[in-house]
Chains A and B, each alone.
Chain A
């Protein structure tokens, strides 16, 4: 179990393994990796709960159907994979504010969380526009 308990792998080795995983995924199931469409579907589910008629008429939700699919589970899987890897090396711990952020902007949680929320929404708008 030695290597699974290591705190870090070489980014070259880990990157090559990720590449191999992508090749296997495409070869065996025809699926390329992606994450951002899942956020559209998550938004769709939330809006559906509030205003179902509105969602059913929106062009973008007709294009990217609101459903749980391969990519949705892929994105959820990333959380659990990272959790497992962090646990094996004893690195899982609650961190409210990233160290580099704290050094630059101070320890305020509210500040970091608000900025993370704003940054996240800008990022995803751009990602969807570029179709990435």
Chain B
């Protein structure tokens, strides 16, 4: 099937479930950052558990390829901190800003315009980043199982257990 058509269908379905889970709202995103409303965390961790188990199962059977991004400490840590500051200010992440617009929350138009500007600024500064931050602590394409030297199902089992424990705690505290 056409790549653009599958992209559109997948995006529509993803946008649909995100709206139903109410995770595309500023109030939910800020609620999570204030540790008062864990709705989006419940959503994300549930997605991770199902996708982690499903994709590794298919990977073991030889049906799919993994998409592992390089672990570059400088870029990941600095980029993560900058992303977090921006996220706390704007209250939408890139995909949820698009969803928020679909819901009628049109302050996201300005968020989206800012995101395009941020991407343009990064493109402008990429040559500088490439020779500095993007070289600091580059460990290449590593994963938790490869670093720990253990079978990936042990990691999946432990991560799933920790997530379920968190879910139990969220419900107990009514977060």
Contacts and interface: CB of A to CB of B under 8 A. Distances in A.
A2 interface: no
Contacts of A125: 82, 86, 118-119, 121-122
B41 to A, nearest CB: 8
A43 B115 CA distance: 9
Interface string A13-48: 111111111110111111111011011101110110
B122 to A, nearest CB: 4
B118 to A, nearest CB: 3
B151 interface: no
Given A84-B102, A132-B80, 10 more contacts: A29-B6, A43-B117, A78-B99, A83-B15, A100-B30, A116-B91, A121-B118, A124-B114, A128-B119, A131-B75
B126 A80 contact: no
Q: Interface SS of chain A: helix, strand, loop or mixed? A: helix
B17 A21 contact: yes
Give the size category of B's interface with A: 35 or more
A27 B58 contact: yes
A93 to B, nearest CB: 5
Nearest to A99: B27
A17 B17 contact: yes
B110 A14 contact: no
A129 B129 contact: yes
A98 B49 contact: no
Contacts, number: 386
B139 to A, nearest CB: 13
B14 interface: yes
A11 B42 contact: yes
Give the size category of A's interface with B: 35 or more
Contacts of A12: 42-43, 46, 167
21 contacts: A8-B21, A11-B46, A15-B43, A20-B54, A35-B95, A81-B102, A82-B16, A109-B107, A112-B107, A116-B91, A116-B111, A117-B117, A121-B117, A122-B114, A123-B118, A124-B118, A125-B82, A126-B84, A129-B79, A129-B82, A130-B82
Among A71, A91, A96, A124: residue with most chain B CB under 10 A: A124
Contact of A82 (B4, B7, B18, B89): B18
A22 B55 CA distance: 9
Given A15-B47, A43-B123, A60-B123, A131 B69 contact: yes
B154 interface: no
